[in-house]
């Protein structure tokens, strides 16, 4: 008997690659055009807010133009049909999991379609540019920044994530290079808690040796096949 009840899934840029959103560490990745220190740190934002806002204005527009692919749809189906605990922890700032219909999603690195007011701490759904410094709808200050976790900042939901990992029977990683902590450490936390660990990725990642099993291929093929397997058990 398969006693799997509680599943934690970690997704990375690879799951959205086939929706046309560039990954970070591919040759055509975002870091090729911009150094991380120029766009994804609080120091960069303090130094050149217009450059950083324009960079995320482009990311936001890209997210709005993209559509979920078969991998997002398969995970949404699993979310709908799985009666045990399930948490999709995504490092992605796009909303493609939600647009495919998934509900149990946690954005540990924030969201491209979010604006955070550094004056009054309000958070807003935001689909327009921020580079022209619009006022915060709550306090009227022009102090909105992308609601994205930059390097050196604390990811969202860590307590909830580690609680889910501690209870997990199965941990699945999809489309992530394992280059960025704390997400890269989740596989070890899950394994220490007794979970089986599975990696679905295009290429072997930095963390592949830490998984019980690695399946290589595009997410749009591997994820639907795996979901089919899990729901058939």
Count of residues that interact with ligand OAD, criterion CB under 6 A? 24
Q: List binders of ligand OAD among 125-164 (CB under 6 A).
A: 149
Is 109 labeled as catalytic in the residue annotation? yes
The answer to whether 33 contacts ligand OAD (rule: CB under 6 A) is no
9 within 8 A of 86, measured Cβ to Cβ: yes
Measured from the CB of residue 144, what is the shortest distance to ligand OAD in angstroms?
18
Q: Exactly one of 7, 8, 10, 17 binds ligand OAD (CB under 6 A); which one?
A: 17
DSSP letter string over 93-128? -S-HHHHHT--SEEETTEEEEEEEETTT--EEE--S
The answer to whether 76 contacts ligand OAD (rule: CB under 6 A) is no
Beta bridge partners of 199: 173, 214
Rounded to an integer, what distance in angstroms lies between the CA atom of residue 164 and that of residue 190?
A: 9
Q: Exactly one of 7, 9, 14, 102 binds ligand OAD (CB under 6 A); which one?
A: 14
Measured from the CB of residue 139, what is the shortest distance to ligand OAD in angstroms?
26
Stretch that binds ligand OAD, among 8-16, 115-123, 156-164, 191-199 (CB under 6 A): 8-16
Contacts within 8 Å (CB) and 24+ apart, 114-123: 114/146, 114/147, 114/148, 115/144, 115/145, 115/146, 115/147, 116/144, 116/145, 116/146, 116/147, 117/141, 117/143, 117/144, 118/143, 118/144, 118/145, 119/143, 123/147
The answer to whether 18 contacts ligand OAD (rule: CB under 6 A) is yes
The answer to whether 175 contacts ligand OAD (rule: CB under 6 A) is yes
Annotated catalytic sites, by residue?
A: 109
Residues in touch with ligand OAD (CB under 6 A):
12-14, 17-18, 23-25, 29, 40, 91, 109, 149, 175-177, 179-180, 201-203, 205, 218-219
């Amino acid at each position: 008997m398969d006693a799997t009840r509680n599943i934690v899934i970690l997704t990375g840029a690879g799951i959205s690659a086939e929706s046309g959103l560039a990954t970070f560490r591919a040759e055509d990745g975002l870091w090729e055009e911009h150094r991380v220190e120029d766009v994804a740190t609080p120091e960069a934002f303090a130094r050149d807010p217009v450059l950083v806002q324009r960079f995320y204005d482009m990311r936001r527009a890209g997210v709005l133009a993209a559509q979920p692919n078969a991998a997002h749809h398969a995970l949404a189906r699993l979310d709908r049909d799985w009666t045990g605990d399930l948490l999709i922890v995504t490092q992605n700032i796009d909303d493609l999991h939600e647009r495919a219909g998934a509900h149990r999603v946690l954005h540990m690195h924030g969201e491209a379609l979010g604006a955070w007011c550094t004056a009054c701490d309000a958070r807003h759904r935001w689909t327009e540019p921020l580079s022209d410094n619009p006022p915060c709808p709550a306090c009227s200050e022009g102090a909105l920044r992308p609601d994205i976790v930059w390097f050196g900042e604390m990811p969202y939901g860590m307590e909830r994530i580690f609680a889910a990992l501690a209870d997990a029977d199965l941990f699945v990683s999809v489309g992530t290079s394992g280059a960025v902590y704390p997400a890269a450490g989740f596989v070890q936390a899950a394994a220490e808690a007794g979970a089986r660990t599975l990696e679905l990725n295009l290429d072997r990642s930095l963390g592949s040796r830490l998984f019980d099993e690695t399946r290589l291929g595009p997410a749009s093929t591997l994820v639907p096949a795996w979901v089919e397997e899990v729901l058939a058990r």
